[in-house]
Structures are given as structure tokens and as C-alpha cells.
Amino acid sequence: MTPELNENQKMAGLSLEDINIEAFSPMPTPQEIKAKAPLSEKAAQTVATGRTTIKRIIDGTDERIMVVTGPCSIHDPIAALDYAKRLKELAEQVEETTYLVMRVYFEKPRTVTGWKGYINDPYMNNTFRMDEGMLKARQLMLQISEMGLPIATEALDPFGPQYIGELVSWYAIGARTTESQTHREMASGLSAPVGFKNSTDGLLDASINAVQASRRPHFFLGLAEDGHSAIVQTKGNQYSHLVLRGGGGRPNFDTVSIMLAEKALEKVGLPKRIVVDCSHANSMKDPALQPFVLRDCVTQIINGNTSICGVMLESNINEGNQKIPEDLSQLKYGVSVTDACIDWDTTEHIIRRLHRKLLDKKLNG
């Protein structure tokens, strides 16, 4: 027998939905955001070339090394464009041996809490104007693409690619989301190559399972361009691959770790192609160690390793990181507000050194 409803339940209509929701705010559809920041012909050409080149690098038909470098996260569009101009100039000088891709990360997964990135809170004042953040992010990506620089970013929010995906040449799936079924399904439908990072414990099983899963077709709930919910059917992403970032208190870029990763990939029939993240646990979260991680990877390549096809760097105009101050005018220019980065001078130096080493190998066999 159903118990009598009390007066409050009657007045509330016995609501069982949205109990912990404070409010719903309107968000423009992907179609509306794209109309305000339409894809230009120059940007489209950059993205198309970027994706094709990176696929060739992953296939091994382009013997260059992909270098994904840029700020841990974007918070200042002016500094981001400054970095992009420097990187574009450098890219043209080292293009014979390396393919530079700018890291343009707008979303930051948090262990507990903190600033979640430029899209989530573009004004860094807890106003959470995601509608403006998404538009600003797309506008910045257009400007960088129109310079001729391919873009890499992290795929975190499942709806994000519908807004900005056409401007991305390479995606990363982070260590915290590699095990997520939602992100594996999403990756299976992304239009650019996707690198899955090993989990934070340093083990490879989850990331290799993710690579396998994302290479297969999937059906899932998603967002259509007009903003309506849709059943999404994917083809599978044949350019999903492994990214080693260390974990569990130890790095995994050394020769033995690379060999073990190669064997694990071979065991399940995946191509032995690996990107090494020189930051995070591989540098023990010390940005000053990133150049040494890169140097070790270069030595392996010079000595005949053929599986390392790319590296990642966390780099900004100035070194280190900073907390977000209450007075945003006190922010230091070109300094990360998330993970600490190496500075531009160091970045340029180690990429030029990488170029010289690879050029010597190419010329001298």
C-alpha cells in the first residue's frame, strides 16, 4: 500500500529529478558557435595538412618526429599567439627532420578541484561563461591555424569536438580518462589521430585496451551539430596509438620501458608506434628534466629505435608556473597557471638540438 504523501511532496509533485541542480543556462549549439567563427580556407588547409602528415608519421611513411609543444594550458590568448608565432618560425627551420604541432589545451581535468580551463571559466573569476569560452577558444584556434600551425589538444568534454574538432590535427586522451568508456567511444569517431596516455599508476593495460577499443566502431549518445541529442555511429579511429607519460612513481621513457611497450603492442596486434610525453611522471613533474627525457629519446632513435614517432613538451614563453591571483592584472606574462613549463629559450634550444641529431643521422645513415 502506497503511504500517504505529505503536504510538501504533494506541492512539489514528488519531484525526483534535478535534486542537486542549481540551474540550467543556455549554451549555443555547435552550429551557432561555428557561424560566429567560421572555418577559413587557410585554416582548413592547415588542419588537413596537419592530419595527413601526422597520420603518415604514425604509419612510418614520413620518417620525421612529431613534436607536440606548448603551454600546459591556455589562459591568455595574447601570449598564446606570441608563442605560436615563435613556434611557426622555428617549425620552418627544422621541418626537414621534425614536425612541430602546437599544444593548445583548453580543458584541464582536476584531481579534486581548481580552475578547469579556458572554456570552462575564460575570465578566471568563477563566472563559468562556457558559452563565451567556447567561442573564444575557437577564435584562437582559427588564428593559430591561419598562421599555418597544426594544433593538438586534449579531448576531455565529450561535446567539445562538435564545437572545435574541425580545427584539431592531433588529440590526447589523458591518464585520468583513458579507462573511460565514454572517451574510448568518442575517440573512435574523432577525425584526427588520438594518443591514449598510460594510466597514472604507470601500467599500460588500460591505455592499450583503449587503443584497441577506439579502433572499432561504436554506437553511443552524443550531440549533433544542431544541438539535439543523437545516436552517434562511428567507424573506428585507425590512428589511435599509445602515449607514455610515466606513473606510479617512475618514468617509462627508458630503453627497457620502450621495449616492454613495444612487446605489449605487438602481443595484441597493434602497430609499434609510441609517443613519449617528456613531462608529467616522466620528468617527475620537474620541468627542468624535460630536456633530459627528450635527449634520452633522441639517443634511442639515433641508435635504431623505430617505434618512437613523437614527443610531447610542456613549454611556455617563461618558465615555471603561478597561482591565479585575485587581481588578474598581477598575472605574470607567459607563465603557466597549471603545470610548470620550460621557457621558450630552452624549448628552442632542445628542438634545434633534436633537429641537428636527426639531420646527422639522416645524412650519415
Give the SS3 label for residue 2.
coil
Residue whose entry in the numeric block shows the C-alpha cell 602497430: 271
CB 168 within 8 A of CB 47: yes
Q: Which residue type occupies 277?
A: D
**170-173: which pairs have CB atoms within 8 A and are 24 or more residues apart?**
170/50, 170/51, 170/54, 170/66, 170/68, 170/101, 170/194, 170/195, 171/195, 172/68, 172/196, 172/197, 172/243, 172/312, 173/197, 173/210
Residue 158: name the closest of 171, 169, 143, 145 by CA. 171
Nearest to 215 by CA among 235, 201, 196: 235
| pLDDT attached to residue 15 | 78
Among 324, 318, 310, which Cα is nearest to 341's?
318
Cell for 158?
A: 565529450
Give how far the C-alpha of residue 320 lies from the chain's centroid of Cα atoms, to the nearest Å. 20
- Name residues whose C-beta falls within 8 Å of residue 258's C-beta, 6 or more positions apart in sequence: 244, 252, 274, 276, 300, 305, 307, 308
C-alpha grid cell for residue 98? 621534425
As a whole number of angstroms, the distance between CA 153 and CA 166 comes to 12
CATH level 3 topology of 26-54+63-364: TIM Barrel (3.20.20)
The single-letter DSSP state of residue 136 is H
What confidence score (pLDDT) does residue 1 get? Answer: 40
Average pLDDT of adjacent 10-residue blocks, the chain of 365 residues: 52 75 95 98 98 98 98 98 98 98 91 86 96 98 98 96 98 96 98 98 97 98 96 98 97 98 98 98 97 98 97 98 96 97 98 97 85
Give pTM, 2 decimals.
0.95
Q: What pLDDT, on a 0 to 100 scale, did the predictor assign at position 16?
A: 85
Place of cell 621557457: 343
* Domain spans in the chain, listed from the N-terminal domain onward: 26-54+63-364
Contact 107, 120 (CB under 8 A): yes
Helix (H) or strand (E) holding 311: strand 308-314
Q: Which residue's entry shows cell 579534486?
A: 112
Query: What confidence score (pLDDT) does residue 21 get?
Result: 93
At residue 6, the pLDDT reads: 58
Q: Which helix (H) or strand (E) holds 126?
A: none
Position 10 scores a pLDDT of 52
| 9 contacts: CB under 8 Å, gap ≥ 6 | none
Listed in sequence order, the DSSP H helices in the chain are: 7-12, 30-36, 41-59, 77-94, 130-146, 160-164, 181-189, 205-214, 255-267, 290-302, 344-364
User: What pLDDT, on the 0 to 100 scale, is given for residue 254?
Assistant: 98
